[in-house]
Chain A
């Protein structure tokens, strides 16, 4: 699942967030600094 920056205190909002070593990603999600981007379902071709 892709992590997206929400707060400018973490980076540029909208950019992908790639956590460095030791970063507590759960805390960033809980604080609203980043969000998880759910993968979009691809439409099946019938």
Chain B
């Protein structure tokens, strides 16, 4: 049984714009690439830590209204920015940290996607950047 819940009311910002009200899914992965350091004489693979290669993916309802989703993202394609996720909207603390990627790169923006009878949603991925946790 889960003893606590999280990400039920997360706070999502992209380039300091609060996109929580448009976001239906968000994942931030902290990735540390592995380097194979196995040598002759060893019977199992051995790895060392390489470069960090973090990423953040999110699904957003697409809107083209002024100062909403498209306006937030269109100028970020091909640039680096800061993305934050916070598990809940409560005050920032050690149990509700602001998870931040600084210098994350947006390579692709689906500018139009959709199907009959559906709300238009886009999936975007920010890659790279420095991961930090803010607790105060």
Which residues of A are interface residues toward B (Cβ below 8 A)? 6-7, 9-10, 19-24, 26-28, 30-33
Identify the 7 closest CB pairs spanning chains A and B, nearest first: A27-B75, A31-B71, A22-B82, A22-B102, A7-B67, A30-B75, A9-B18
Q: How large is the interface on B (under 10, 10 to 19, 20 to 34, 35 or more residues)?
A: 20 to 34
Q: Contact at B67–A9, with CB atoms within 8 Å? A: yes
| Distance from B97 Cβ to chain A, minimum over Cβ atoms (Å) | 16
Which of A6, A21, A27, A32 meets B15, CB within 8 Å?
A: A27
Contact B72–A33 (Cβ < 8 Å):
yes
Contact B67 A23 (CB under 8 A): no
Collect the chain B residues with CB atoms within 8 Å of residue A24's CB: 15, 75-76, 79-81
List 14 additional A-B contacts (Cβ < 8 Å) besides A21-B82, A32-B66.
A9-B17, A9-B19, A9-B72, A10-B18, A22-B80, A22-B81, A23-B15, A23-B16, A27-B81, A30-B75, A31-B17, A31-B72, A31-B75, A32-B71
Q: Within the assembled complex, what's the spacing in Å between the Cα atoms of A26 and B81?
A: 11
- Show the binding face of B for A, using Cβ within 8 Å: 15-19, 66-68, 71-72, 74-76, 79-82, 102-103, 129
Q: Smallest CB-CB separation from B68: which chain A residue?
A: A9
- Given known pairs A9-B19, A10-B18, the reply for A31 and B67 (CB within 8 Å) is yes
Establish whether residues B79 and A7, one from each chain, have CB atoms under 8 Å apart when the complex forms.
no
